[in-house]
Structure 1
Amino acid sequence: MSVFKIPCSILQAIDKLRRDFLWYGVQSEQKKLRTVPWDLVCRPKHCGGLGVIDLKTFNLALLSKWLWKWITPNDSLWKMQLNALYHQHPAICPNNTVNHNSLLAASFIFQTGLTFAVGNGQSILLWHHNWGYGILRFNLQELYSFTLHNQLTLSTFANNIINPLNLFNHLLPSSTNALSQLRSLIIIINNLRHSDQNFLSTTPDKPIWKLPGASGTFSTNSTYHFIKLNPLHSSSLSKIWSFKMPPRFQIFIWRMLQNKIATLDNLQRRGWSLPNRCVLCYCNSESTTHLFSHCRFYLQLRSLVQEDPVLGPHTANSLFPEKPMALVQAGAALSKATDIWAAAFFVMCTNVL
């Protein structure tokens, strides 16, 4: 997993085994309903998921680690061999002749997290590395389309800045926009010469991993979470995992709050043909909201606690709130009441589930 990109067919086979174990347990012949999509299961807990590792994402994060080792100064035999076979600057793998597919698979993610502290500029690719102004092949696309040297280093460009047109196609002067971008690039280089004493010095270029939680050095964990969290946001469901109860009941509450338990209304949505009537009160259709808010059985339990001379109404409101789903989703703002409810829920589930 850390060396090669796992084929999709292998990933699907492994994920099937993991799904079966999650929903069916060791005795896989006892089939149960899978109510939660696998991508939701693989989300981090603070984003509303179960925190199960996404193997495809983890595979990319591990492959990115080799790209980091590739650009980090060392005399490893494997690195010298790959440099000789493919290219002296393989970290971003921009050359289409490179067929090292396992590393190519992670190259786009890698270039997103990589930046450089400029030293001598000899290991920084002008167009493909982020050296403080983004990736120029994206930011200066029209100018890049005229370049004659796809693998041009920053030091080579800076040393030819007096006559930079030699580095580009002879048609460059015909494009006003490309000329404007070239002037902007020259201004950036000249400003760096005057403001940064390390610019084009004898100091080697220093790669920096800029993702949150990495402290400047590559980490698989920061890369995995960047890929996984990029389109996601924090969720109030993260409160569930702080409840003092076994994971079995935490997962049940997690499914309940997302309306993913096997209630009769959910079974009907899946095409099951069966009558929908609550098996506890026989008064209304069975749904998650009904069972944990409006069911007569639930309200009777609440009433018993409320009328108890020792417990009283305050305890009843904590143990059996009118909207327990809203109470849990409120998170830290109601942490004490939520913990009381979770403890009571644990006791009830122990005797019911």
Structure 2
Amino acid sequence: MLVYVAMAAELPPWVIKAIDKIRRGFLWRGRKDAKGGHCLIAWPKVCRHLELGGLGISDLKRMSYALRARWPWLRKTEPNKPWASLPLQVSKDVDSLISMAVITEVGDGANTFFWRDKWLDGHSIRELAPRVYALVTNKRAGRRTVREALTNEKWVEDIQGDISDLLLEVDLQEGIPDRHIWRFSDSGEYSAKSAYEILFQGAVYFGPAQKIWKSHAPPKCLPHPARCLLRDQEEENIQHLLVGCVFTRQFWFSLLQRFGLSTLTPQPQDISFDDWWEKPEASVAGELRKGLNSLIILGAWSIWRHRNDCVFNGTVPNMATAVILAMDEVQLWSLAGARDVSLLSAMGEGS
């Protein structure tokens, strides 16, 4: 219901705030309300795509922009719709989105705005000559088509100045309609999904998102002391803990060996867990790749649990204990329905 409302009208800030309050309460506590201390991650980050380090929950403000961009797009691409001639209220934000996303290949010039649309090699006159555009009234800029402007150089009536050199290179093609192209989709057509995604441009990409969210694993997997608890002479950070520590590399060898995959063990030159993960993932395909990704998540989770046992319970680091913990998890994940992990286990038994 919210999608249909947002498609038709701009959501007031108080509506978005009220709905987000309910969503936060449901996410963090399963209740109507959640206080600040209950919220583990800032809400704007929660509302990012998985690939951007968020949880993939829709950002309502951006979603409403993306949905309402549909109407100016349809008015350009399907001008014969019955409502196309009606006054269309477009907010400044949606207008900016359309301006960024749409370029035009001019045909007969009848459906392209001379001053505002991007029809000159992917640029608009508004961009190329902002001082000239500033001399044109909003009424003229919002009505003057390319066809009208280039017929007997009518555009000269709108301004004082000279940008005729660029316009001389444009030849109108009688009978061929203008083609508007949505730059952010392969088909060149608008979609709410592509409009929503471009509103996150500039955010940092989170590489392992697909591997983590598309692999079978419980929902709770992956603060630290100054020194590594597994090798106390080394400084601890997450990269060291998961792939750089000597203890960790021995653990990965022991675990992967049980599945006939010991050649995929991290090497001393591997200092980034994400970069190392790319190597074993590329070495297998299909269902085995999914099983391997789950196994790597399981292994990282087991290292983390063993490390925390050493930190909080005073347990002495023990390789055999860590591997047994991981293999117990393999059994539990398989029983819980991780078919890909079971397939990988069968492959290990066969080898």
TM-score, scaled to structure 1: 0.63
Structure 2 gap ranges (5+): 1-5, 285-291, 303-324, 330-351
SS in 2 for 1:79: coil
**Contact 2:242 / 2:300 at 8 angstroms: preserved in 1?**
no
**Contact 2:24 / 2:34 at 8 angstroms: preserved in 1?**
no
2:189 equivalent in structure 1: 217
Q: Does 1:128 align with 2:116?
A: yes
TM-score, scaled to structure 2: 0.63
Offset, 1:241? 2.5
CA, structure 1 residues 214+67, in 2 after alignment: closer, same or farther (shift >3 Å)?
Answer: farther
- Matched residue pairs, number? 287
CA, structure 1 residues 248+70, in 2 after alignment: closer, same or farther (shift >3 Å)?
Answer: same
| Residue identity opposite 1:223 in structure 2 | A
**Contact 2:227 / 2:234 at 8 angstroms: preserved in 1?**
yes
Offset, 1:317? 8.9
Offset, 1:127? 0.4
| Residue identity opposite 2:97 in structure 1 | I
**Contact 2:109 / 2:147 at 8 angstroms: preserved in 1?**
yes
CA, structure 1 residues 206+303, in 2 after alignment: closer, same or farther (shift >3 Å)?
Answer: closer
Q: Deviations over 1:106-139 (max 9, x none)?
A: 1110122222232222221100112243121121
Identical residues among aligned pairs (%): 19
1:153 equivalent in structure 2: 145
Of the three residues 344, 348, 351, the one matched with 2:299 is 344
1:94 equivalent in structure 2: none
More divergent stretch after superposition (59-68 vs 211-220)? 211-220
1:141 equivalent in structure 2: 130
2:280 equivalent in structure 1: 334
Q: Does 1:46 align with 2:28?
A: no
Of the three residues 175, 190, 200, the one matched with 1:202 is 175
Structure number with higher relative contact order (C-alpha < 8 Å, ≥ 6 residues apart): 1
**Contact 1:42 / 1:53 at 8 angstroms: preserved in 2?**
yes
Q: Does 1:111 align with 2:57?
A: no
CA, structure 1 residues 245+324, in 2 after alignment: closer, same or farther (shift >3 Å)?
Answer: farther
Distance 1:30 1:316 in 2: 49
Q: Deviations over 1:16-45 (max 9, x none)?
A: 222232222358679964332222222222
| Residue identity opposite 2:297 in structure 1 | A
Q: Does 1:79 align with 2:84?
A: yes
CA, structure 1 residues 119+223, in 2 after alignment: closer, same or farther (shift >3 Å)?
Answer: same
Distance 1:206 1:284 in 2: 65
Q: Deviations over 1:238-260 (max 9, x none)?
A: 254356323613xx43xxxxxxx
| Residue identity opposite 1:146 in structure 2 | L
**Contact 1:63 / 1:103 at 8 angstroms: preserved in 2?**
no
| Residue identity opposite 2:130 in structure 1 | Q
Offset, 1:4? 0.9
Distance 1:16 1:41 in 2: 13
CA, structure 1 residues 2+214, in 2 after alignment: closer, same or farther (shift >3 Å)?
Answer: farther
Structure 1 gap ranges (5+): 83-89, 91-99, 173-177, 254-262, 266-275
Distance 1:277 1:27 in 2: 42
Q: Does 1:6 align with 2:11?
A: yes
Of the three residues 227, 232, 236, the one matched with 2:203 is 232
Q: Deviations over 1:264-323 (max 9, x none)?
A: 78xxxxxxxxxx99999999999867976899xx95x98789789x859x86995x9999
Offset, 1:2? 1.0
Of the three residues 219, 222, 233, the one matched with 1:248 is 219
SS in 1 for 2:148: helix
